[in-house]
């Protein structure tokens, strides 16, 4: 049973060496009378929030830190290969919280859901049909209060969340611009994901000028994934009564000294609404979300881009690659075939 452990708490940018690949034996079957589940992990998800779990515990974090020397835990897709729990049977496919290892014993299955639609690629349950999908759905539809015809700007737009936000906004009839960190990603946004326009923020000397070029009349909605200098430039370009949904601030996660935001006057002058949100608060919307998104997938109304690496050994590098933009689309690790 190959497994990935956190070596020690991380400060600053994470590296592959902050995690260790080891192996341990796993029972082929659970002992009699045991109420746990034995899972064979098929896909593991790399998500930016996992970085905060690699830091020393802080009181303000809404997710507990990993223990150094323990297996990394995150979202994944798994198959039940033994079950002492009457709600799950051998062969069931599940998605939810599992270990970064080939096989996981789950004592209590609260973090797991049975997969309802198995004719869709199973990896989708780490992204479009899982946590990032619900984040995009809730963040755009519920937090941004969008209206047809409005102008929408999405940062980290080609990623797991951003690509869906942009497409939800297009489906509503908004004008949508995304930014991303390479020409390949900008082309993807414009040519495959249906964004009206896109730019490479790494090549823009002046972010304020780039936003003025894309939004001569201003931005109604900003879906914030990155923070820092981008947020400061966006504040100057928001329209009166604009809304900003703060989903993530990835440019700040690895900085020991966070960047300041200076254009705060714009919040008052433009009467902006800025609201942070976290997906775990909105889990009750998952059934509604699932039916909506399954419909969109079947009708070809959304496109979904994944970046799948093969082999659990590659998981640490894939995870840290999120912070340098190595991933093109949702970063997934294929551990085993069904």
Shortest distance, CB of residue 160 to ligand NDP, whole angstroms? 4
Q: Which stretch binds ligand NDP (CB under 6 A): 93-101, 247-255, 265-273, 285-293?
A: 247-255
Nearer to ligand NDP, 41 or 251 (CB): 251
Nearer to ligand NDP, 55 or 85 (CB): 55
Nearer to ligand NDP, 194 or 321 (CB): 321
| Per-residue contact flags (x/-) with ligand NDP for residues 202 to 241, judged by CB under 6 A | -----------------------xx---------------
Q: Does the protein bind ligand NDP through residue 132 (CB under 6 A)? A: yes
Nearer to ligand NDP, 174 or 305 (CB): 305
Compute the C-alpha angle 13/2/96, nearest 5°.
Answer: 70
Q: Does the protein bind ligand NDP through residue 274 (CB under 6 A)? A: no
Q: Beta strands of the chain (E only): which ranges? A: 2-6, 19-23, 37-45, 73-83, 93-99, 103-106, 112-114, 151-154, 175-180, 197-200, 219-224, 238-246, 273-276, 306-310, 330-334
Residues of this chain, 6-45, that bind ligand NDP according to CB under 6 A? none
Shortest distance, CB of residue 132 to ligand NDP, whole angstroms? 5
Q: Does the protein bind ligand NDP through residue 278 (CB under 6 A)? A: yes
Q: Which stretch binds ligand NDP (CB under 6 A): 22-30, 63-71, 244-252, 260-268?
A: 244-252
Q: How many chain residues touch ligand NDP (CB under 6 A)?
A: 28
Beta carbons within 8 Å of 257's beta carbon, 6+ residues apart = none
| Per-residue contact flags (x/-) with ligand NDP for residues 303 to 332, judged by CB under 6 A | -------------------xx-x-x--x--
CA quadruple 71, 52, 283, 87: dihedral, nearest 10: 10
Query: Are 171 and 147 a contacting pair, CB within 8 Å?
Result: no
Shortest distance, CB of residue 118 to ligand NDP, whole angstroms? 24
Unique residue bearing structure tokens 């939800």? 168
Unique residue bearing structure tokens 């980290």? 156
The three-class DSSP label of residue 232 is helix
Q: What is the 3-state secondary structure (H, E, C) of 254-316?
A: CCCCCCCCCCCHHHHHCCCEEEECCHHHHHHHHHHHHHHHHHHHHCCCCCCCEEEEECHHHHH
Nearer to ligand NDP, 156 or 238 (CB): 156
Binding residue for ligand NDP, selected from 54, 247, 297, 335, defined by CB under 6 A: 247
Q: Does the protein bind ligand NDP through residue 130 (CB under 6 A)? A: no
Q: Which stretch binds ligand NDP (CB under 6 A): 30-38, 53-61, 85-93, 153-161?
A: 153-161
Query: Are 106 and 39 a contacting pair, CB within 8 Å?
Result: yes
CA nearest 146: which of 226, 241, 216, 212?
241
Binding residue for ligand NDP, selected from 14, 48, 99, 316, defined by CB under 6 A: 48
Q: State the Cα–Cα distance between residues 117 and 290, nearest whole angstrom.
A: 10
Residues of this chain, 168-207, that bind ligand NDP according to CB under 6 A? 180-182, 185
Query: Are 335 and 150 a contacting pair, CB within 8 Å?
Result: no
Cα distances from 289 to residues 117, 169, 195, in angstroms, run 14, 15, 22
Residues of the shown chain interacting with ligand NDP in the complex, contacts defined by CB under 6 A: 47-49, 132, 135, 156, 159-162, 180-182, 185, 225-226, 247-248, 250-251, 277-279, 322-323, 325, 327, 330
């Amino acid at each position: 049973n190959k497994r990935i452990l956190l070596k020690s708490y991380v400060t600053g940018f994470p590296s592959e060496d902050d995690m260790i690949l080891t192996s341990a034996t796993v029972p082929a079957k659970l002992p009699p009378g045991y109420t746990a589940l034995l899972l064979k992990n098929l896909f593991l998800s790399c998500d930016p929030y996992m970085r905060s779990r690699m830091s020393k515990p802080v009181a303000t974090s809404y997710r507990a830190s990993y223990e150094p020397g323990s297996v990394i835990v995150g979202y994944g897709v798994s198959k039940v290969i033994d079950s002492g729990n009457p709600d799950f049977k051998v062969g069931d496919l599940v998605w939810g919280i599992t270990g970064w290892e080939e096989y996981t014993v789950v004592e209590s299955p609260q973090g797991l859901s049975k997969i309802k639609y198995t004719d869709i690629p199973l990896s989708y349950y780490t992204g479009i049909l899982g946590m990032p999908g619900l984040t995009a759905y809730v963040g755009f539809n519920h937090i941004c209060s969008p209206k047809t015809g409005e102008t929408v700007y999405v940062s980290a737009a080609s990623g797991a969340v951003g690509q869906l936000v942009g497409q939800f906004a297009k489906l509503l009839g908004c004008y949508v611009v995304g930014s991303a960190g390479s020409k390949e990603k900008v082309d993807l946004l414009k040519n495959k994901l249906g964004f009206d326009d896109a730019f490479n923020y790494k090549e823009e000397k002046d972010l304020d000028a780039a936003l003025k070029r894309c939004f001569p009349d201003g931005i109604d909605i900003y879906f914030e994934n990155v923070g820092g200098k981008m947020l400061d430039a966006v504040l100057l370009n928001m329209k009166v009564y604009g809304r900003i949904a703060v989903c993530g601030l990835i440019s700040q996660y690895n900085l020991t000294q966070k960047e300041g935001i200076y254009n705060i006057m714009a919040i008052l002058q433009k009467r902006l609404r800025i609201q942070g949100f976290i997906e775990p608060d909105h889990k009750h919307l998952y059934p509604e979300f699932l039916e909506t998104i399954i419909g969109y997938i079947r009708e070809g109304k959304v496109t979904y881009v994944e970046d799948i690496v093969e082999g659990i050994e590659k998981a640490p590098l894939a995870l840290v690659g999120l912070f340098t933009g190595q991933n093109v689309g949702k970063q997934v690790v294929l551990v085993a075939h069904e």
